[in-house]
């Protein structure tokens, strides 16, 4: 379990990357981050990290109704997904629709609907490599950090 892994990381004074979503105690992670570097992300895809940044900017400038659609494989347990909640945090008040269908790694759509126009951003994970690459970059970033709580926003994504 996450709490046991966190206990080991604290005991050994090792950094920890966490990508678990659902029922997670963020307060315990922030407390642990006082002693060790902690990296947390609901989604390690670099594309989602960039989508999150773009969504924040668009929501500030484009007066609209916002809808988030998250499509995942049928065995995905949490609905809405951690990624959909992350995107909702970026834009503020948004309606979330969760869809489950087979053979989907993850599709996230942001629909900014105004009176005269609609802006849509779509991210499709084609395979699990997108998440693995981001997790490896996060781990490489984390081993060079002092104790603290880090997210994808803390990494320089322009590399």
Catalytic residues: 72, 76
Q: Are strands 107-113 and 16-18 parallel, antiparallel or unpaired?
A: unpaired
Q: How far separated are the first and last CA of the chain, in Å rounded?
A: 33
Residues 6+ apart with CB under 8 A from 3: 25, 28
CA angle 147, 151, 157 (to 5 degrees): 115
C-alpha distances in Å from residue 113, one per residue of 12, 55, 56, 63, 102:
49, 13, 15, 8, 28
Q: What is the SS3 assignment for 69?
A: strand
């Amino acid at each position: 379990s996450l709490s046991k892994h966190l206990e080991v990381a604290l005991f050994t004074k090792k950094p920890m990357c966490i990508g678990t979503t659902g029922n997670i105690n963020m307060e315990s992670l922030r407390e642990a981050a006082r002693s060790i570097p902690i990296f947390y992300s609901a989604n390690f895809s670099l594309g989602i990290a960039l989508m999150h940044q773009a969504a924040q900017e668009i929501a500030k400038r484009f007066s609209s109704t916002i809808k988030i659609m998250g499509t995942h494989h049928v065995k995905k347990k949490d609905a809405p997904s951690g990624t959909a909640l992350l995107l909702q945090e970026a834009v503020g008040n948004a309606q979330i629709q969760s869809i489950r269908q087979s053979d989907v790694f993850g599709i996230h759509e942001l629909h900014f609907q105004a009176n005269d126009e609609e802006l849509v951003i779509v991210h499709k994970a084609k395979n699990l490599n997108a998440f693995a690459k981001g997790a490896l970059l996060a781990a490489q970033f984390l081993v060079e950090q002092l104790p603290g709580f880090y997210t994808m926003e803390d990494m320089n994504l322009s590399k």
